[in-house]
Structure 1
Amino acid sequence: MDNEKIQKAFEAHGIEGEITCPQAFEISEKYNIPKMDIARYCNQHEPRIKIRSCQLGCFR
């Protein structure tokens, strides 16, 4: 998992504190970051980044 790459992608999209599932999918596709890496980053980041409007339980 490349935390720096994810952090920069989140900053570019103005993500702070929470992200929607569609935003996570978009970032995953645009920056070629596995969805599970985004989920891990959100869960391990302090303070945690909450994933909202989750589709199909992809992010927990």
Structure 2
Amino acid sequence: MDKEKIIKKIKARARNNRIPCKKVLQIAAEENITPKAIGKILNENSIKIVTCQLGCFQ
């Protein structure tokens, strides 16, 4: 897992340090990582998930 690449993708798709759940799950699939792993990256970078579809990131 290239953490810096993932962070760049997240920041490119986020607005005001917020990113929709759907986009997070797309990035996780693209990078072949679990929702839990990407959730940890989001927490470390103070980026919040909005409009969560499945309750995966509550």
Contact preservation (8 Å) 1:9, 1:31: no
Give the TM-score normalised by structure 1.
Answer: 0.73
Give the TM-score normalised by structure 2.
Answer: 0.74
Q: Identity of aligned pairs, percent?
A: 39
Gap regions ≥5 residues in structure 2: none
Measured on the aligned residues, the alpha-carbon RMSD in Å equals 1.9
Gap regions ≥5 residues in structure 1: none
The number of residues matched between the two structures is: 57
Residue 52 of structure 2 corresponds to 54
Contact preservation (8 Å) 2:18, 2:49: yes
